[in-house]
A and B are shown apart, each in its own frame.
Chain A
Amino acid sequence: MTIYLFYFLSFLAILSGLMVILEKNPIHSVLYLVITFFAIAGHYLLLNAQFLFAVQIMVYAGAIMVLFLFVIMLLNLNKEAEPHKNNAMKFAAVIAAGLLLLVFVAALKGTSELPAPQESVGDIGLVKNLGKVLFKQFLLPFETASLLFLAAMVGAVMLGKRDTK
């Protein structure tokens, strides 16, 4: 049962991921990207990462996608006629990405057999356990992340502001 769910979610993620880059209209690309994020969120749920499932839906499918849609509509990019690379460049891109995938798969084939997975003890993906690890083991990175957010926020406002000179 789980394996069929895995194959379904993987198929959905890969198909909509491909549609993101093949779709000509940027609005459709964003909507396909939302489907990809939901499929990956489903994978998180299968892997018992319930907290990350919620965060994925809220941050990616919610906040980041709204930001993308907002910018696309603000810039009025929803026209079908948009610039495309010439065919030689497209061919080279497909070859390059295909070779990268080939290297990944070849590296995977070269690995020795992995040991059996650890027996799961309790739910490490719940917010109770993740919070303990986050605020004990990773307290300094957590605080640094807040600084990063502040810097990004100030930077985005600075960049987005119209010059009043």
Chain B
Amino acid sequence: MSAIQTIPVNLYILLSAVLFSIGVLGVLFRRNAIIIFMSVELMLNAVNLLLVAFSSYWNDAAGQIFVFFVMVVAAAEVAVGLAILVMIYRNTGSTDIDVLNKLKG
């Protein structure tokens, strides 16, 4: 028996909203690019949790397949993003995003 039978789905929506907001806060709050990446992962996980909750709620496996695809995209994003980060560190000597202001007019 699934937990969705006893726990109202509103609580899952609330939990996901809080976790997503924490991720947004992390992106706005920190200057270290690695922490910003972690916050993006946190946001992706909040969405995944809600997809699984509704998949269980409607008894539909498609939601869990979508979580699977989100994980694929997250893994690819982390691999490319960390490669970019290593390159930035090699060129500027830090992972501070405020150093990267060359596009500012």
Which residues of A approach B to under 8 Å, CB–CB? 2-3, 5-6, 10, 13-14, 17-18, 20-21, 26, 29-30, 33, 36-37, 40, 43-44, 46-49, 51-52, 55-56, 59-60, 63-64, 67-68, 71-72, 74-75, 77, 82-85, 90, 92-94, 96-98, 100-101, 104-105, 108, 114, 117-121, 124-125, 129-130, 133-134, 137-138, 141, 145, 148-149, 151-153, 155-157, 159-160, 162
Chain B, residues 1-42, CB within 8 Å of chain A (1/0): the string is 111111101110111011111111110111110110111011
Additional pairs, 10, CB under 8 Å, beyond known A21-B30, A93-B29: A3-B7, A29-B38, A52-B68, A71-B82, A71-B86, A75-B86, A130-B64, A130-B65, A138-B69, A159-B84
* Dominant secondary structure of chain A at its interface with chain B: helix
Nearest neighbor of B87 in chain A, beta-carbon distance: A159
Ranked nearest first, the 7 interchain pairs of A and B with the lowest CB-CB distance are A93-B28, A152-B76, A97-B25, A21-B26, A104-B17, A159-B83, A46-B3
Q: List 19 A-B contacts (CB under 8 A).
A: A20-B35, A21-B29, A43-B52, A47-B2, A49-B52, A52-B67, A68-B38, A71-B82, A75-B89, A82-B32, A97-B25, A97-B29, A100-B21, A108-B14, A124-B59, A124-B60, A133-B62, A153-B79, A160-B87
